[in-house]
Amino acid sequence: MRKATLRRETTETKVEMTLNLDCQEPVNIETGIGFFDHMLTLFARHSRISLEVKVEGDLDVDSHHTVEDVGIVLGQCIQEALGDKARINRYGTSFVPMDESLGMVSLDLSGRSYLVFDAVFDNPTLGSFDTELTEEFFQALAFNTQMNLHLKILYGKNTHHKIEALFKAAGRALREAITENPEIQGVNSTKGML
CA–CA distances in Å: residue 19 to residues 38, 74, 138, 144 = 17, 8, 17, 15
Q: For the chain, how big is the Rg over CA atoms in Å?
A: 16
26 upstream amide cis, omega within 30 of 0: yes
pLDDT digits (tens, 9 = 90+) for 50-60: 999 999 999 99
Cα separation of 175 and 48, whole Å?
7
Q: pLDDT band for position 193 (50/70/90)?
A: confident
Q: What residue ranges in the chain does DSSP mark as E strands?
A: 3-9, 13-20, 27-30, 50-57, 91-98, 101-108, 114-118, 125-126, 129-130, 148-155
Domains of the chain, earliest start first: 3-178 (3.30.230.40)
pLDDT digits (tens, 9 = 90+) for 83-126: 999 999 999 999 999 999 999 999 999 999 999 999 999 999 99
CA–CA distances in Å: residue 103 to residues 124, 134, 162, 173, 178 = 19, 13, 7, 12, 20
pLDDT value at position 192?
83
pLDDT digits (tens, 9 = 90+) for 126-163: 999 999 999 999 999 999 999 999 999 999 999 999 99
Supply φ then ψ for residue 31, to 5 degrees.
-105, -15
pLDDT digits (tens, 9 = 90+) for 24-80: 999 999 999 999 999 999 999 999 999 999 999 999 999 999 999 999 999 999 999
Q: What is the mean pLDDT of residues 16-26?
A: 98
pTM above 0.95, yes or no: yes
pLDDT value at position 194?
86
